[in-house]
Structure 1
């Protein structure tokens, strides 16, 4: 039942996961279409009106369309970040990259005016840091033999940024004058990193395989922007990088999907282990021949009853049973017949007791029954009914099988499990000494008022 319930929950989680991915996919498709369509409309309108609207809309539409998508990805990563199965370092660096990317796009849209010095400074600083952050994300997913190259690439970008920032603070316009060196570094290092990611993907790295499309788009757009805007190798007005950022959800959704699969697999394995442990515990407490509990369960049941009714006398009783002349059965009919007698005897007793009672094979042909909520008199009457039931049963034709029983009750304060078992054993010995096939109770040492209350 527990496994079926967990499978049902997994089915609901799978539908929820599919809904999230479908919504993200629609958002990923519709936003660039919306941005491109609106961009085209504004471009043709500005061309017809001699271009007054073109500077206003050329970068803004793509940047504004990226904001809800980036916010969705960041919230999705933060939502799954708290899970113990989450690759938290990778999530942190990916969130930092997404935030920096949005800062870069906003600054690219706002820093077109020459008077906006703060926007220009942030835009150029983000330009230097973007490839470093992207390579730090790649460092977390690429195979270990390639990590040294990626880490050296990150250090190269950070070193160039620190030099340019120091020159900028010294008044030498280091961020602007360092852009040619920055783009040369991009042209020199990023194809090598991309090749290593491709090699890792072909070697079976699923994370590198998922990052190929965003990496190819961002790398190609970054190199295109450098060739067009910095070196003037191409004619372009604006940046291509905001348009390829719509490929980033491919990698983000892959990460979330992998985490959901790991959590689901862990849940199923945990459920299987719990069932296996419960089954192993049950088997360790069951007697293989008779199907009733063994002595391990008896000790646990007695401890539980004593904890519940430590000082209350007469709250439960113990009945010890012994099959009469069982050794003669083994000697005359064989041990197989003796085993059948034990199994039939156990089945007969278990079918006549309450579900709350605990029936245990004490050892050999001796059995113990814990009668919960029964005082001495009630336990004695029940033991007599069981004795008659065994006597009437045809356990081993033509031989009649009988049993002797002893009954003892919990005395409450001052009593122990050892004393209780000793008293019930003495009562059983008295039944056997008195001629067998009878029930003997321990001497009544509890006041009648207490027994009547029970």
Structure 2
């Protein structure tokens, strides 16, 4: 990311150098401060005709200090008609009215040459010179209520129309690079805000708010828009309002990240941003021109406020906060580039007219990627926790339905198993089978060898029985040494075969070192007339009959 930003800056610097070749104007610029011009006059001011050759020299790139006593300034320079294709002026003015003469002809006028309640705004112009031959004089008159802005031009040059258009578009390169990224970030955050309710929705909302304000600022600051919408005051005030609102919207993001940190007093920073905007806006409505005048206070407050935010984010990052670590880069880059652009543009300190602040969006993109990465990690952790909880719940559910000693289903689970079996039988019209098992003479085991041995016998018996059951056949501990088996067998012969097999295996295999037998009562569910009470009665009667018949046998009850 850093290497990419360095490459972009290098390309921009080379582009600025390529487009900044000096225009062909004959002789030096000269100037005169005055208040003796006519409002709305179309004639060349008389002062120019009298003694313009004796006026002080004027440096277009570094305006000489003015007295501050006057609201008008006259500029003159000789223009040669040697290259008629270089006939297009490109320049920008801020909060100034301007008109121009070539020789005696007034060919351009924009703004009002008297005090106004609201500012003129900032506007780039491309103006074609009238046709002329030989050498003539270009006269420029400028008016401003603000001594700070009087006499300042931006990117003033005389060249061909193609070169001037190139300069015009070159100055918007950072904006063109930033706007698509900003729109993409808004789109991604809207998706996360809309479809990821478990995420950081408030943080996503603040990012959307900041990016919308930033993209609007990018549009307002672009030069190309003036080719289609020539409303300098609208763009000027929109730009000024957004300049005050951007820190307010941006600081909502670290405020959300630093929430819960006792040392981070983000509300104070936000109140300072908000109060400055309210004061500037109120003064501007009253005609005091405070939106621009308070920029001298705005940029120091911005630098101080964001430095404090950076300090708080560094503290949070040292405590292990990943997002606070990630937000440091965009905060530092946006603040640094914003102060450079703002101070350089407001006080005319920079030799180029190109905004660097838009490039800060790539640092912000680094922060957005970090958010998405953390969101994915958070969702993965949440998924793992959910799986663990579901597994734990399943284990607890199974534990609540399982007999702790034998591992068979318990009587609570029997209700569910029996209900499912009855529902299936009624749906298909086919019966199901039930076996009721009882270990013969189990009481003697307990009385002779103790309950520990009895428990071992029960476990061994349950294990042996389950080895002979299919997956769909359930073994339930009915109580004591009695067990129930629910099977999907629909015929008497099959049910008796299973019961006899179990009976034979129990008699053949020692259980916990003891030779034992079991008695089994068998029955089938009667689909049309049966109930659970009659089902259990038949199985119990059959088991009783098996015991009566000498044990170690199977009896079926119709």
Quickly name the TM-score band, shorter chain normalised. 0.7 to 0.9
* 3-state SS of 2:403 partner: coil
Alignment partner of 1:88 is 2:204? no
* 3-state SS of 2:468 partner: coil
Give the whole-Å Cα distance in 2 for the aligned partners of 1:347 and 1:423: 26
Structure (1 or 2) with the larger CA radius of gyration: 2
Query: How far 1:122 sits from its partner (Å)?
Result: 1.7
Alignment partner of 1:76 is 2:188? yes
- Answer with 221-230 or 191-200: which moved more: 191-200
- Answer with 254-263 or 374-383: which moved more: 374-383
Give the whole-Å Cα distance in 1 for the aligned partners of 2:468 and 2:15: 87
Size of the aligned set, in residue pairs, is 416
The one of 378, 389, 399 aligned to 2:494:
378
Alignment partner of 1:37 is 2:152? no
* 3-state SS of 1:404 partner: strand
Give the whole-Å Cα distance in 1 for the aligned partners of 2:372 and 2:222: 31
Give the aligned partner of residue 401 of structure 2: 285
* 3-state SS of 1:320 partner: strand
Which of 1 and 2 has higher RCO (CA within 8 Å, sep 6+)? Answer: 1
Structure 2, unpaired ranges of 5+: 25-156, 158-162
Alignment partner of 1:157 is 2:273? yes
* 3-state SS of 2:484 partner: strand
Give the whole-Å Cα distance in 2 for the aligned partners of 1:435 and 1:312: 38
Query: CA 1:133–1:327 in 2, change beyond 3 Å: closer, same or farther?
Result: same
**Deviations for 1:233-280, whole angstroms, at most 9, x for unmatched residues?**
666533332233321112111111111111101111111222222233
5 Å-filtered alignment, 1:204-353, equals 204-232=320-348, 237-310=353-426, 315-353=431-469
Q: What's the TM-score once normalised by structure 2's chain length?
A: 0.67
Alignment partner of 1:107 is 2:223? no
Give the aligned partner of residue 307 of structure 2: 191
Alignment partner of 1:65 is 2:177? yes
Is the 8 Å Cα contact of residues 394 and 400 (structure 1) preserved in structure 2?
Answer: yes
Q: What's the TM-score once normalised by structure 1's chain length?
A: 0.80
* 3-state SS of 1:118 partner: helix
Give the aligned partner of residue 236 of structure 2: 120
- Answer with 387-396 or 350-359: which moved more: 387-396
Is the 8 Å Cα contact of residues 32 and 65 (structure 1) preserved in structure 2?
Answer: no
* 3-state SS of 1:344 partner: helix
**Deviations for 1:199-241, whole angstroms, at most 9, x for unmatched residues?**
3334443332221121111112222233322245666533332
Give the whole-Å Cα distance in 1 for the aligned partners of 2:437 and 2:457: 14
Give the aligned partner of residue 20 of structure 2: 46
Give the aligned partner of residue 422 of structure 1: 537
Is the 8 Å Cα contact of residues 303 and 335 (structure 2) preserved in structure 1?
Answer: no
Give the aligned partner of residue 88 of structure 2: none
Query: CA 1:190–1:388 in 2, change beyond 3 Å: closer, same or farther?
Result: closer
Structure 1, unpaired ranges of 5+: 1-24, 445-454
Is the 8 Å Cα contact of residues 445 and 453 (structure 2) preserved in structure 1?
Answer: yes
Is the 8 Å Cα contact of residues 313 and 328 (structure 2) preserved in structure 1?
Answer: yes
Query: How far 1:300 sits from its partner (Å)?
Result: 1.9
* 3-state SS of 2:409 partner: coil
Query: How far 1:437 sits from its partner (Å)?
Result: 2.0
Give the aligned partner of residue 291 of structure 2: 175
* 3-state SS of 2:436 partner: strand
Return the structure number with greater helix share.
1
Give the whole-Å Cα distance in 2 for the aligned partners of 1:33 and 1:414: 87
Give the whole-Å Cα distance in 2 for the aligned partners of 1:45 and 1:186: 32
Give the aligned partner of residue 168 of structure 2: 56
Is the 8 Å Cα contact of residues 408 and 423 (structure 1) preserved in structure 2?
Answer: yes
Give the whole-Å Cα distance in 2 for the aligned partners of 1:119 and 1:380: 94
Query: CA 1:97–1:36 in 2, change beyond 3 Å: closer, same or farther?
Result: farther
- Answer with 173-182 or 100-109: which moved more: 173-182
